[in-house]
Structure 1
């Protein structure tokens, strides 16, 4: 058996929780959780559904799949309920695709730290292709074609490419032209596109164009989504997947359903009641999504200002709730003053010296020698539900003392490290 390790972000979150419980004051930016209170109507639907304790259909009930189909349809992806499977989170659905679709996997580099381990668990090779200069979440289209052909030359068999729109870890969104370029490569090389769109409803500017690869290459694109990020119910584990129409999509859909029947059986019926309500998007859900996106954008932009002000390079965040700074311009200073020479030592210095917790870039497939890391800005809204709700409702959350104080401490930490 090959060596198995805990997911680095989950392991880090557990370590931080232990140290905080022991009384340490930490700025935790290492875990991608939307740290907001549960929206009361969601809790009401969960309570109403709690009497349902049967298993239910493997794919999910007809009503919840109709709601998910409507959600996609309102996003220019006409969908029938038969194209949808709901599950306890999008993570098992993504894993199931790896189990049932043949071939190796191409992922962006850096990327969410689960894609590569899932490929390995499925007995596949994961090939990381660097992201473009302008955005993350996709392999650079020109390099993608080169990597595919080089891999095939060595006897490997890449057949899947994974995209994240918007991106974790860079907090950026690939534009329509980039998506069309990726889809063109997928058509030429006969790749299945797995489009992870769990952050789709967290774009910081409502006018930002979003093009799903399922609009460009509908016959070869699987789309995953969920409620963990947009509605801050990660621990409830509610995910959904849309499969292509036609014979190929039906084969993948049926194979994923077969895997589900042996792994998770079904999404719990109380959670299906929550999902049915949320994916139907009544006005109060739309308002909540808009308020959350505004908060995520405001704080992410401020953290971007802080790290670039300290001398880092960083793509401006446009979606999700992350920034991904690169301290390469300060390599000489950081090495000479602090002995920081790579991703692990940069992480350790921030943690031990300033109590700033990030997720080191090498855990995301980045070069270990690089000076890059992920910051989850969604953990900066307050340490109580009342403060988090206040942040969500504020016209300018950056002026709230509990938000401003932690941002000031963060800025002071980077100034000390880089001056």
Structure 2
């Protein structure tokens, strides 16, 4: 049977994530070390798990409100105010979602009509473009560069704006580069946003994971609260990937419309996850600090090691990724990643998975044990030496 004739063209126009492709390939290589997936290697803190168990024992197995349990929304609003000085009404301006991924989809589908353009810095997380296409919109990729520390430059952004531009995705701290934008850099972007009357979706899922720099919420930039939809979640900062819990914070006029899309999509996030989220928001600050310290230790080790073996590597200031250049090997990022996996038994993600501007780089996640990182670095060093010798060069 020809199922192709039944499938919408929008679905045909998107591809399976390259990240998942390489993650799946790891299983085929015995003894391989995976630095592919951006998932904390820490188990969810026990007090969060116990709160979830207690919710079951207390009989909290029913739907919550579509927007989420009010107590959780109140805790999220308090957290955003406490950490970033942002004020949201938990009754009408917070929506609890099934992870930040669903939040991204809800935001784009609510705002984008066929033909609208979505401005997406590149390289960046793989979901923004496909979600735009599925909403009938057009992704417009705005390049960022190593020489600019992979931040979005306001003057470059302006060159890509057209009369069809409606939404800017602002994904900082950034996946895959680890780049963080300063307050002054965000202010420059804010001027462009005002000039061209744009809405911003600030994906700030890594906001708690910065190293030696202060995170600035885009909604906190003067004049931007009313133009910003903040997307965040529990996966990265609290090591709660499997709980699938995120949230949207937006002005009431936008949140009200997004709630409609959300309620017909999933009704509500899992109740057990929401009770876990309440505990995380109330008592999880120390957990974040402890994990961030470990990530920072790994970050410094990995960047130093990559540079010592001869790879140019921008110093990531956020998230838990390193994004070294592999251009001098003469290999494409995908060929490098495949050969490193099969010959060196280390799995990384080719930079091309994150867009054209990611070509020539690979992404390594340091959300794994120091033991794994140390062994992975040894294997990479041998592989890298071999690739240079094949080209008649010396490391």
After superposition, the Cα gap between the structure-2 partners of 1:292 and 1:65, relative to the gap in structure 1 and judged at 3 Å, is same
Task: Give the RMSD, CA atoms, in angstroms.
Answer: 1.8
Report the CA distance shift for 1:101/1:403 in structure 2 as closer, same or farther (over 3 A): closer
How far residue 367 of structure 1 moved from its aligned partner, in angstroms, is 4.3
Q: Distance in 1 between matches of 2:313 and 2:32?
A: 23
Matches within 5 A, 1:68-79: 68-74=76-82, 75-79=84-88
Match of 2:154 among 121, 141, 149: 141
Unaligned runs of 5+ in 1: 245-249, 382-397
Q: Distance in 2 between matches of 1:240 and 1:116?
A: 20
Note the C-alpha offset of 1:291: 1.1
**2:46 is aligned with 1:46:** no
Is the 1:129–1:140 Cα contact (8 Å) retained in structure 2?
Answer: no
What's the secondary structure of 1:19's corresponding residue? coil
Deviation at 1:375, TM superposition (A): 0.9
Any conservation in 2 of the 1:95–1:118 contact (CA below 8 Å)? yes
Question: What is the match of residue 270 of structure 1?
Answer: 272
Per-residue Cα deviation, 1:57-103 (whole angstroms, up to 9, x for no partner): 00012111000000100121122202100011011111011111033
Residue equivalent to 2:348: 358
SS of corresponding position for 2:201: strand
Please state how far the C-alpha of 1:403 moved relative to its aligned partner: 5.2
**TM-score by structure 1 length?**
0.84
> Relative to 1, partners in 2 of residues 1:327 and 1:8: Cα closer, same or farther, differing over 3 Å?
closer
The question of 1:413 aligning with 2:369 is answered: no
Q: Distance in 2 between matches of 1:241 and 1:367?
A: 28
Partners of 1:410 and 1:48 lie apart in 2 by 45
How far is 1:180 from its partner?
0.6
8 Å Cα contact 2:154/2:189 also seen in 1: yes
Match of 2:169 among 136, 159, 162: 162
SS in 2 for 1:378: coil
CA, structure 1 residues 15+105, in 2 after alignment: closer, same or farther (shift >3 Å)?
Answer: same
Deviations 1:9-55 (Å, cap 9, x if unpaired)? 23332332x326xxx01121111111112210111011112232211
Give runs of aligned pairs for residues 395-406 of structure 1, distance below 5 A: 404-406=374-376
Query: What is the TM-score of this pair, normalised by structure 2?
Result: 0.89
Q: Secondary structure at the match of 1:52?
A: coil
Among 59, 63, 73, which residue is 2:71 paired with?
Answer: 63
1:36 to 30, 42, 52: 42
Measure the CA separation in 2 of the matches of 1:38 and 1:407.
27
The separation in 2 between residues aligned to 1:356 and 1:412, in whole angstroms, is: 11
Q: 2:22·2:348 contact (CA, 8 Å) conserved in 1?
A: no
Q: Judging changes above 3 Å, is the alpha-carbon distance between structure 1 residues 30 and 405 closer, same or farther for their aligned structure 2 residues?
A: closer
Cα distance 1:34–1:112, how it changes in 2: closer, same or farther (>3 A)? same
Q: Which of 195, 198, 218 in structure 2 is aligned with 1:191?
A: 198
Residues matched between the structures, number: 369
Structure 2, unaligned runs of 5 or more:
1-7, 389-394
Distance 2:46 2:302 in 1: 29
